[in-house]
């Protein structure tokens, strides 16, 4: 890559190592449009001018076993290796919903809960599992949050209906402040119909894009429950929640 601070090179030795293990497929073409990588290479060059990079795109269909194998291989690299995960979190939803979903995301990250990484609303669920597994293998003790915000907050415009949220932080060998939360979403009958991607009468294909975005409302939540006309009592762990439809 050419950056304002000079050219940054790929580490061909590491790329050959990963390819030799059958863990990656080398293809330059996707990187011309992958903003998650080309948006950060200039900052890497500025802060770490002698660094060489190993850009990796983790596809959504990558299995947990493949992710874990890649994390193990990366963990064998020299101790001065730094992994940067460029991931967008909540997508296409209002700021208040993004904040709600980020509670789940932060809890999974700060508790190294890579087994439930696929419940987080994020643009690369396998990518999140990769960084969590890698951090664990490198004996990281905690995730230190620096900032949690979204595009509506950055623009200071709460009327923006479709936002993208960001969780910024780093793993280290120092323990971090604990953050353990569970989220529960109660919906009425309309909500339960909305949760079905193929329920729109206007969709020729299921799911269509309009309803796919709405489906994200139900992603990134630990528990979803439908509220009927009667009052109900729910047991969530050691917590009892009483809900009345009225």
Q: State pTM to two decimals.
A: 0.81
CA distance 46 to 213: 37
Supply angle C-alpha 81, 82, 87, rounded to 5.
145
CA distance 102 to 82: 24
Question: Could you count the other beta carbons within 10 Å of the beta carbon of residue 51?
Answer: 15
* pLDDT value of residue 158: 87
* pLDDT value of residue 232: 57
* pLDDT value of residue 85: 94
Structure tokens belonging to residue 102? 């980020």
* pLDDT value of residue 200: 41
For the chain, 246 residues long, give each residue's pLDDT as a single digit of tens: 899 999 999 999 999 999 999 999 999 888 888 888 988 999 999 999 999 999 999 998 999 999 999 999 999 999 899 999 999 899 888 998 899 899 999 999 998 887 777 788 888 899 999 999 999 999 999 999 999 999 999 999 988 989 999 999 999 999 888 888 888 877 766 544 555 544 444 444 344 445 456 677 777 788 877 766 555 555 555 555 555 444
Contact 184, 236 (CB under 8 A): yes
Structure tokens belonging to residue 39? 């948006």
Strands (E), the chain: 2-3, 6-7, 91-93, 142-150, 163-172, 184-187, 223-226, 232-236, 239-243
Structure tokens belonging to residue 157? 């415009």
* pLDDT value of residue 72: 97
* pLDDT value of residue 227: 66
Contact 171, 142 (CB under 8 A): yes
Longest CA pairwise span in the chain (Å):
65
Q: Considering only CA atoms, which of 33, 80, 92 is closest in space to residue 57?
A: 33
Strands 6-7 and 91-93: unpaired
Beta bridge partners of 179: none
């Amino acid at each position: 890559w050419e950056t304002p601070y000079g050219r940054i090179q790929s580490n061909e030795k590491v790329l050959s190592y990963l390819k030799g293990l059958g863990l990656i497929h080398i293809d330059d073409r996707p990187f011309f449009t992958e903003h998650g990588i080309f948006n950060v290479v200039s900052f890497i060059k500025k802060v770490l001018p002698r660094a060489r990079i190993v850009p990796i795109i983790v596809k959504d269909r990558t299995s947990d076993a493949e992710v874990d194998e890649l994390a193990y291989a990366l963990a064998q690299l020299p101790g001065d290796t730094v992994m940067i995960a460029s991931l967008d979190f909540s997508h296409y939803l209002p700021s208040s919903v993004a904040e709600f979903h980020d509670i789940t995301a932060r809890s999974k990250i700060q508790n190294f809960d890579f087994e439930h990484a696929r419940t987080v609303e994020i643009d690369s669920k396998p990518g999140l599992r990769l960084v969590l597994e890698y951090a664990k293998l490198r004996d990281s003790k905690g995730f230190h949050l620096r900032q949690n915000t979204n595009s509506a907050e950055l623009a200071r415009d709460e009327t923006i209906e479709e936002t993208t949220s960001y969780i910024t932080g780093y793993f280290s060998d120092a323990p971090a402040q604990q953050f353990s939360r569970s989220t529960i979403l109660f919906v009425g009958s309309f909500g339960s119909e909305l949760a079905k991607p193929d329920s729109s009468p206007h969709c020729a294909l299921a799911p269509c894009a309009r309803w796919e975005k709405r489906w994200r409302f139900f992603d990134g939540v630990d528990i979803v429950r439908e509220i009927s006309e009667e009052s109900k009592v729910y047991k969530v762990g050691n917590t009892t929640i009483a809900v009345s439809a009225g």
